[in-house]
Structure 1
């Protein structure tokens, strides 16, 4: 029962964050938090330590990596991931940090609540 509550809470946070991100999309035509987080939704159970890494998650990671081509896009993606990581109860930093490597993607920053997204 606690597992369902945690997952439900995380899904609510993710949905709220996606809605807020869409509302506050940057004035530039760059990537939005909605575009960052939506393809990563299949990763949620994995980064909570509640399941195996699904193929759809890696597809989302690769899709996001392809979409975030410019430095501003990568900084936006980093900020979105950092904010989401701070909001998810029972977030497993080690699982999230290892996600790109497990999916065969190299990103220039770790997925963490302490990442400096300006670099």
Structure 2
């Protein structure tokens, strides 16, 4: 009976994965914030961009390969930028290029993330 129940659970899990719409983001806002948290000090006070910050940006850029993922990342970044006081927007928008990453959108509180592809 336990084997049958286990097989049923595995079957349901496999079917749910196959039926999941591909238009949903595979990364979460928590992952985005976690990757970018080493950048907070830089976007507030400037100075030298830490290697951890650039690694987070590069990792996030590599993970956000679909339009839904990029839109999720954009919305998370936009929300976080609005919630953290003292952010220098010029430093924030220049951060990807300082780390050698070309983002398909500009980091800005006024960005329309629905237009990010």
TM-score range, shorter chain: 0.7 to 0.9
Match of 2:100 in 1: 104
RMSD of aligned residue pairs (Cα, Å): 1.2
Once the two structures are TM-superposed, the CA of residue 50 in structure 1 deviates from its matched residue by 5.2
Determine the C-alpha separation between the residues in 2 that align with 1:49 and 1:108: 25
Matched residue of 1:108: which SS?
coil
Determine the C-alpha separation between the residues in 2 that align with 1:62 and 1:69: 12
Normalised TM-score (structure 2): 0.75
Normalised TM-score (structure 1): 0.74
Once the two structures are TM-superposed, the CA of residue 76 in structure 1 deviates from its matched residue by 0.3
Correspondence 1:75 to 2:74? no
Determine the C-alpha separation between the residues in 1 that align with 2:48 and 2:66: 31
Once the two structures are TM-superposed, the CA of residue 52 in structure 1 deviates from its matched residue by 2.2
Determine the C-alpha separation between the residues in 1 that align with 2:78 and 2:94: 15
Moved over 2 A (4+): none
User: In the alignment, which of 39, 55, 62 is matched to residue 59 of structure 1?
Assistant: 55
Specify the structure having the higher radius of gyration (Cα): 2
Determine the C-alpha separation between the residues in 2 that align with 1:86 and 1:35: 18
Greater Cα shift, 58-67 or 29-38 = 29-38
Alignment check: 8 A CA contact 1:82 1:113 kept: yes
Match of 1:22 in 2: none
State how many pairs are aligned: 92
Match of 1:43 in 2: 39
